[in-house]
C-alpha cells in the first residue's frame, strides 16, 4: 500500500491537516461497515439565549422568510431591519405576500465562517402582518439601523412586520475536549 500513512492521527492533527495545504491529506481508512471514514473533530452545539439572538438579528440585513404557499414550504431571502423587536421587510406583492398575510411564519438568519467551520443560526417563529400606511411614519422612527432597502428594482410599497413569538438560536462552539485527548 504505497502512499498510505500508517498509524492513527490525533484530532488536532486532522484539524490542522484540513487547514494547512503544506500537510498532505491522510488517506481514509476502511471502516468496519465497509465504507471509508475519516475521523473529524466535532464541535459542540450550544443554545443561544433570546437576548443574544435578538442582538444577532439586529446585526444582519439579509434573512430568509419561511412560509407555506400553494406549492408547499418555501424559504426566500429578504432585506430586513429591526424595529422595536419586530422584523420588518418590504415587498412588491405577489405570492409571498398572499401566502403570509396575517399568518404564522418563520424567519432565519445565520452567519457561517467557511474557513473555521464556525457559525450560528437564529430562528424566529411568529405572526406576520402588513403594516398599515398610517403606521409607517412612526415605524420608520423605530428602526435601529435604518429602514430596509430592497436590492431588487421596483416599488416595494408593502411593508410586513413579523412579531416574534418563539426565538431560538444555536452556535457551533469550540471543539469537543474528547477530540484532543
DSSP designation for 135: G
- Where would I find the H helices in the chain? 11-19, 50-59, 95-100, 136-142
- Supply the pLDDT for residue 157: 79
Question: Band of the pLDDT at 47, cuts 50, 70, 90?
Answer: very high
- Read off the pLDDT of each residue in 98-116 and give the average, rounded to a whole number: 87
Task: Give the global pTM.
Answer: 0.69
Cα Rg of the chain (Å, integer): 22
Are the C-beta atoms of 35 and 29 separated by less than 8 Å? no
- Supply the pLDDT for residue 117: 80
What is the dihedral angle through the alpha carbons of 148, 154, 157, 162, rounded to the nearest 10 degrees?
-40
Domain ranges of the chain: 1-41, 45-174
State yes or no: pLDDT of 37 exceeds 90.
no
Report the candidate in 51, 65, 48, 145 with the shortest Cα–Cα distance to residue 99.
65
Fold entry, domain 45-174: Pnp Oxidase; Chain A (2.30.110)
State yes or no: pLDDT of 23 exceeds 60.
no
Residues 123, 84: Cα–Cα separation, whole Å: 18
- Supply the pLDDT for residue 3: 46
Amino acid at each position: 500500500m504505497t502512499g498510505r500513512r500508517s498509524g492513527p492521527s490525533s484530532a488536532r492533527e486532522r484539524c490542522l491537516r484540513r487547514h494547512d495545504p503544506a500537510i498532505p491529506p491522510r488517506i481514509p481508512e476502511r471502516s468496519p461497515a465497509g465504507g471509508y471514514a475519516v475521523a473529524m473533530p466535532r464541535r459542540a452545539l450550544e443554545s443561544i439565549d433570546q437576548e443574544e439572538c435578538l442582538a444577532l438579528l439586529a446585526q444582519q440585513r439579509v434573512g430568509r422568510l419561511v412560509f407555506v404557499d400553494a406549492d408547499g414550504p418555501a424559504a426566500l431571502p429578504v432585506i430586513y431591519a429591526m424595529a422595536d423587536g419586530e422584523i420588518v421587510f418590504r415587498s412588491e406583492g405577489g405570492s409571498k405576500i398572499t401566502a403570509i398575510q396575517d399568518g404564522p411564519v418563520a424567519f432565519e438568519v445565520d452567519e457561517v465562517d467557511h474557513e473555521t467551520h464556525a457559525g450560528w443560526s437564529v430562528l424566529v417563529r411568529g405572526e406576520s402582518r402588513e403594516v398599515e400606511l398610517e403606521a409607517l411614519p412612526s415605524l420608520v422612527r423605530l428602526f435601529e439601523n435604518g429602514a430596509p432597502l430592497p436590492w431588487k428594482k421596483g416599488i416595494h410599497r408593502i411593508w410586513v412586520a413579523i412579531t416574534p413569538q418563539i426565538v431560538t438560536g444555536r452556535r457551533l462552539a469550540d471543539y469537543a475536549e474528547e477530540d484532543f485527548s
